[in-house]
Structure 1
Amino acid sequence: MPDSLPPPTPGEELIKRIAVRVREARKSRGLPRRVLSELSGVSPRYLAQLEAGEGNISVILLQRVAGALDLKIDALLAENMPLDRDAERMAQVFSKASPDIQQQVRALLFAHSQTELRAGRICLIGLRGAGKSTLGKLAGEVLGLPFIELNKEIEAALDMPIAEVLALYGQEGYRELEAEALERVSATHDRMILAAAGGIVAEKTTYVRLLQRFHTIWLHTSPAEYMQRVRAQGDERPMEGNPAAMTQLKTLLDTRTPLYERADSQVNTSNRPVKASLKDLLRIIEKRRFLDVLDG
């Protein structure tokens, strides 16, 4: 009984893949080999050998063949790359489109699977003082993910602190800037942990986009701890000259709780040390597989 043939080497597999793709691309375009030869400057004999998977071809010649087929050379080399001309053109148009258009295309393509669209992206929501900045930064370090605060993204874009942004643009203008910042981070980060301002849930359109593009986790605590943590950060504004501040905080929390409850998960940080809350957060991320790209 003859010995079995050894498995093909990676180089042999690449040559065969190139052969199949060149042959299929040429035929799909209705180009005789003679015409492809004239367009590419590669001899018909060399093209015949290429399509038969015989011998090697230089990168320069392969680049000529790809160009004659109206393809990028990547389409002939990559393990998974569509050779359809329309698909190739769409890829080129997509690469040149604005971040907003790219995000709209992504949303349409992933409409069948919101889980796949959100995979790798996590957003922490909740009132100020819930622990979004602290836990988001620590979780990012543990998981090896970039941590971004949406307010800091706005500050960087305008080169001014949020207080000045609010004073200059007002609440309505700030919400528009917040929506634009969300679009930017969504378009530029496939994997990340984001901390959003507490009021983002009150802007319906922006919140819907956030829920579509991120796995959301609501961090919350008791009204007393909200107030205590904000003051511990050196901000006396919640209490200064306002004896009704606690009542207002409770009212705000009651109003926003139904919106926060739309999040995928939640972590109660009340009376919990930072390490314990971080452990709770990481457990949810792992259990719910928020960083996984799921099949199906």
Structure 2
Amino acid sequence: MSEITNFRGETLAPDPDSRGEAAVRALILRVGERVRKARELKGIPRRVLSEVSGVSPRYLALLEAGEGNISIGLLQRVADALDHRIEWLVGEDDPWTSEALRVAELYRAAPAEVRAQVLDHLLPQPEATARRHRIALIGLRGAGKSTLGARAGAALGLPFVELNREIEDQAGMPVNEVMAFYGQEGYRRLEAQALGRVIATHEAMILAVAGGIVSEPETFKTLLGNFHTIWVKAAPAEHMNRVRAQGDMRPMAGNPEAMDQLKFILTSRETLYDQARAKLDTTGRSVEDSLADLLALIRERGFLS
């Protein structure tokens, strides 16, 4: 941008509006160039990209020429059609040469175990050691969290705590009454408070949490940061059968679509549960075998080292 002077020859500060317009113009040009280059590298004609993204050929032509002031919604469609994340198109770093973006793509594609190891290396030491010797079992009811948690705690000499029991002690009533009296929002608030108390009072423990804790971002973030988390999982049919074997017929009572709903919950939460540092599949395994698997996993991953 050229300097602006007044009649005395003094340099004036650039007009903020001009700086803003220049930044917007640079962004539009950058996005257009990256869309064009990504399309050409994939060998996709503009007509095909239009059909896949639902964005008109004329709009795409303007975009690639740096003339199209495309909306975020339409740009997301174009990014999806090119199999790229939207930030890849708008970020200041060159996506073809940026090591940071390359590392980010590799991290997203890596298994949960690899991502956990990467975080261990990258996180500052105080955060990396914040989990201490705390282990949390997450997953849907019926996977075996309570049974395995209690037995593992006994085998390892660690206290075992169920977070719902902590909530009940705090509220002075069973969880189902907490839900009826306080509602979902009140329950989640009590859950966050109970988790904070557990962290403050235990440096070594095994904790079992309710399956829905992953739906509360801040509480789940606290859990991930302060515990070595293990996703205890099982096939949907085993989840249902184990709950019924415990004498709880509520999942099936008057609800012929209960299995479909269970599968939907598992699918919708899978990416959240997958953030756990390790997984334990109890499908087709006896309690004794699953306990041996859990203890071996804790030992191999060094959660108590």
Deviation at 1:249, TM superposition (A): 0.4
Look up the match of 1:89: none
Secondary structure of 1:216's aligned partner: strand
Look up the match of 1:256: 269
Which residues in structure 2 correspond to 1:171-250 (within 5 Å)? Answer: 171-250=184-263
Deviation at 1:116, TM superposition (A): 1.2
Look up the match of 1:265: 278
Partners of 1:288 and 1:116 in 2: CA distance: 14
Which residues in structure 2 correspond to 1:1-296 (within 5 Å)? Answer: 112-292=125-305
RMSD: 1.0
Deviation at 1:111, TM superposition (A): 5.1
Partners of 1:271 and 1:119 in 2: CA distance: 32
| Deviation sequence 1:4-51 (CA, Å, 0-9, x none) | xxxxxxxxxxxxxxxxxxxxxxxxxxxxxxxxxxxxxxxxxxxxxxxx
What letter is aligned with 1:156? D
Gaps of 5+ in 1: 1-109
Partners of 1:201 and 1:160 in 2: CA distance: 23
| Deviation sequence 1:168-208 (CA, Å, 0-9, x none) | 00011100100000000000000000000000001000000
What letter is aligned with 1:131? G
| Deviation sequence 1:119-171 (CA, Å, 0-9, x none) | 20000000000100000000000000000000000001111100100000001
Partners of 1:140 and 1:166 in 2: CA distance: 29
Secondary structure of 2:125's aligned partner: coil
Q: Percent identity?
A: 59
What letter is aligned with 1:161? P
What letter is aligned with 2:179? L
| Deviation sequence 1:219-265 (CA, Å, 0-9, x none) | 00000000000011111010010000000000000000110000000
What TM-score, normalized by structure 1, do the two folds share? 0.61
Partners of 1:177 and 1:221 in 2: CA distance: 28
What letter is aligned with 1:196? V
What TM-score, normalized by structure 2, do the two folds share? 0.59
Partners of 1:274 and 1:135 in 2: CA distance: 7
Q: How many residues align?
A: 183
Deviation at 1:113, TM superposition (A): 3.8
Secondary structure of 2:142's aligned partner: coil
Partners of 2:215 and 2:302 in 1: CA distance: 27
Secondary structure of 1:123's aligned partner: strand
Secondary structure of 1:124's aligned partner: strand
Gaps of 5+ in 2: 1-122
What letter is aligned with 2:209? A
What letter is aligned with 2:293? D
